[in-house]
Amino acid sequence: MANITFYELSTYNNGLLLPFTIDLDELSSEEEFNDAVQDCLQALKEKVIAGEFPHADIEYQGGYYTFEEYRVADSEDVPDKYVGEYSLDSEYWEYREAVEEHGAEVVDAALSIGYELGSLEDYYEGHVEEKNDDAETLGEWAYQNDHLGEIPDHLEGYIDWDSVGRDLNCSGWCVVKGHVFSV
């Protein structure tokens, strides 16, 4: 369950921690996220005005607490690169869409080698059963998935799959966390 927790800043700056948490799984866009933040700020403001925080000796003083700004307190199941000091990076929604389409393992592997999310289908080639990220695994995978053309069965035993994989690496292919990518 992906969520992010914020502190409202006008109360935070006056020594009072009033957190609010947004469940990101219930939202589908940055626009919905921004609306949810504003709704939470409004609800928090109404609670303060109604005096629902007896543990804190605060009184709403005609705008003293503005309830306009917030800062990130914590997040769960959101990659650190998408959580800023004051908000959630707008690229998070593209990340989440890619995870829904390709799976978190594939997306995280692609990001670990610097690929862009928007064109993941252009360079993701597939999954290897072995978790070895080595040249031999790549060479064998390329043969099994018909990326090398026809090789007669009686010659298979003579092929140095490690060399084939290294050649593929030089051509922009790689295996990362059990997933094959190309340029």
Distances (CA, A) of 53 to 12, 47, 49: 14, 8, 9
pLDDT for the residue 64: 60
pLDDT for the residue 47: 84
Quickly state the pLDDT bin for 99 (edges 50, 70, 90): very high
Read off the pTM: 0.75
Q: What is the mean pLDDT of residues 50-73?
A: 69
Asked if pLDDT for residue 59 goes beyond 60, the answer is no
CATH topology of domain 116-181: Arc Repressor Mutant, subunit A (1.10.10)
Q: For the chain, what are the domain ranges?
A: 3-90, 116-181
Asked if pLDDT for residue 116 goes beyond 80, the answer is yes
pLDDT in tens, 120-136: 888 999 888 876 668 88
